[in-house]
Structures are given as structure tokens and as C-alpha cells.
Structure 1
């Protein structure tokens, strides 16, 4: 599929929502800015991700920003407009929200990355901070897979099995206590 037709399939609302994601806003903030519900913003972003064939909403926003920057037209000369229509609210359309210069794109990073200092300070890759505590045995949002070693997986299997055994024991003890309580109430009533 060629690029222009893919981006031409985005509606104005898709584009507005993608710009909000590009500005690092959450769904609620975008919804407040556009005067729509948060669930509607999420729907628009999900559709935009599918239309662009992106991995996630951030990737779709980055694709849209790159396309928009590459295909933006140079600013036309100013035309005379009557003072009644000079405010952006009365102009309407996308032209009211265009910025003078495009913001630089932030560097790509995974959810577990933290950038310390400006990019290029040391000339090396950004510092990766591991999430503290235990690594979980399932994929977290924004990751392609989990990063557990074979040993970690075996430990998790044992821990989950032990947790299930303890939970089952507690359930059986609770049922035994409940059965005894029901029997004692039945004996008192008869």
C-alpha cells in the first residue's frame, strides 16, 4: 500500500487525536481538548493504528508527524481579513492550529527506558534503567515479549504452583469451618 493513500484515509479527528498523542497527552487530555469522550478518543486512535498499520498509538503518531512534516506546504502570504474574523476561533479548520515550526521528534524508547541528560551528551546510547523488583512472567503493555531467563521462568512456575496450593488449602479450610458452623446452627435449631 503506498503512503499517500494510507494517510489520506485518516479523518480530521484521527489526525487531531494523533497530534495529541504526539504532544504526549493522555486520552483524557485529548478528549478535553477536542470536546469529546475519552472512549471516543481511544476508538479514533485504535482506528488510526489499524489504518496506518502501526504497532501502537505512539508509533502511529510518529508516522503521522513524519508524514505531516514531509508534506506540509510552505506558508502562504497573509491575506487581508476583516477584524471580525481575525481570531482563530472564528477562522476554524486546521489552519487555526498550525504551529510556526515543527517540534523535533522525541527519541524512540521502550517503556522501561529512562533518558538521563540530553541525547548525545556522552555519545553513547541512553541509560537503560531496569524496573525495580521482580520481573513478571507476562508481557506488559508496550513490550513485544517478556525478558525472563529460563531460570526465572522455572522459579515463577514454582511460585505460582505454591500460590495455587496455598489458595486451595485456604479454600478447603474455609469450607470446613463453614460446614461446621452450618452443622452447629442446624443442631441448635432442632
Structure 2
């Protein structure tokens, strides 16, 4: 696995993989990070896919080895963690290793980010105007919040217009049916 693949991992991916390395289950990782179990499973599945690993165990061990090499430490102490005890291969995340090609678009964007000068930059994501499960707070800037105000107003106006039109059509249909029946 190349350093570029590890650069695609977010802070949450890394935290979840470190939990797997520490022999923790999804529920334990979720409790420690303040997330839901399904959210942890999603982070782990995405990390497995981004790294091209067979399963969460292999991804966790690869991250640990990468971080040990990156920080100049010795590789993991096998007496400390027996790899066979880390969540078994039958986790259902991936049954066989399938190398993930990094698809690129003309603008250089890839899965999880754009590669520029050998560095991976995260793709811009649209921040939502509410706090999602697992977030401590909403990290939107004032400008992003101000952009959401007209977007929400337009969506409400369109929705109200559709409701009014639907009720008008329904009223006309009922009026014609009662006129034909009477």
C-alpha cells in the first residue's frame, strides 16, 4: 500500500482502524468516539476500500505499520498484539483483495481527493446546515451559513408552490367529478 492511499484516510478512518488494532469491536469504538456502531462500520468499510485491504484487520495492521514507519519507530511488537485476534476475516466487508484503481478525472480529482504535486488534497464537500450524528458541533463558516439561508428559502417556496398547485388540481378534479355525477 502506497503512502498516497494512507493520505486518503480521514482522522475518523484512522481512529476507527486504531480501535480495531487495539482489539476493540465496533460498539466499543463507537462508544469511545461518540459515534453510532453503523457509523463506525461505515468508516471501517470505507477505509478498507480506500486502502485496498481484504478486511478491517488487514487495514488496521497496514495503518499501524505505516504509522510506525512514518514516525521512525520499530514495526509493531508481535507479542503485544496477535494479528489472529483482531476481528476475523469473516466480517463481511470484503472477501478477497481487490486493488482499487485510483480513478482520475481531467481535473486530477480522485476517490477521496485530488492528487497535486504528489500530495492528496481532500475534495471539497458541501457542509450541511445541521449537526450530524457523531459531530460535536457544526463547523460551518458564517459565509456558508449565509449561503444556506436563500437556498432553504427557495426550496420552501418551490415546495409550497407545488403543494398549492397540487391542491388546486385536486380541487378541480373533485369539482368536475361531482359535476359529472350530479
TM-score normalised to structure 2 length: 0.43
Q: Which has the larger radius of gyration?
A: 1
TM-score normalised to structure 1 length: 0.42
